[in-house]
Amino acid sequence: MTVQGESADHQWVDDHAGPVVRPYAMTRGRARPVTGTFDLISLVTATRADVTPEVGLGPEHLAIVGLCQRIQSVAEIAAHLDLPVGTIRVLLGDLAARNLVQVREPQTTAGLPDNSIFEAVINGLRAL
């Protein structure tokens, strides 16, 4: 059923149409972040409760700050915002450069001082 007077544009802009903006348009064509590497499981938290729109920040940047009021991994941010990881990395680089997010890179196994992480995971899994 078509609503009378609905513009032609609207018929195309629904969930089934897929993304209306190509992913790298949100990054203004940039494929790499200005700072940081952002592993899939790097953890990100916002440093402020919210951010007022400013030059250089798009709605996706603000959405990330909103999402990261609770600690999220890079992969989770990408999944929740339904954007490719590469796009999220660029946007996170912008936010990190402005100190709007805090990032913790993951622990590598080689860098572990002892077995405590293994033991914590085993005990944590058993307690689930």
In whole angstroms, the minimum distance from the beta carbon of 95 to another protein comes to 13
Query: What's the CA dihedral at 16, 86, 98, 51 to 10 degrees?
Result: 20
Q: Identify whether the C-beta of residue 88 lies closer than 8 Å to the C-beta of residue 81.
A: yes
Binding site for another protein (CB under 8 A): 23, 31-32, 39-43, 45, 47-49, 71, 73, 75-76, 78-80, 84-87, 99, 102-104, 106-109, 112, 115, 117-122, 124-126, 128
> For residue 105, which phi and psi values (nearest 5 degrees)?
-70, 150
Classify strands 43-46 and 72-73 as parallel, antiparallel or unpaired.
antiparallel
| Closest separation in Å from C-beta 111 to another protein | 9
Q: Which is nearer to another protein, 54 or 119 (CB)?
A: 119
Minimum distance between the CB of residue 4 and another protein, rounded to whole angstroms?
38
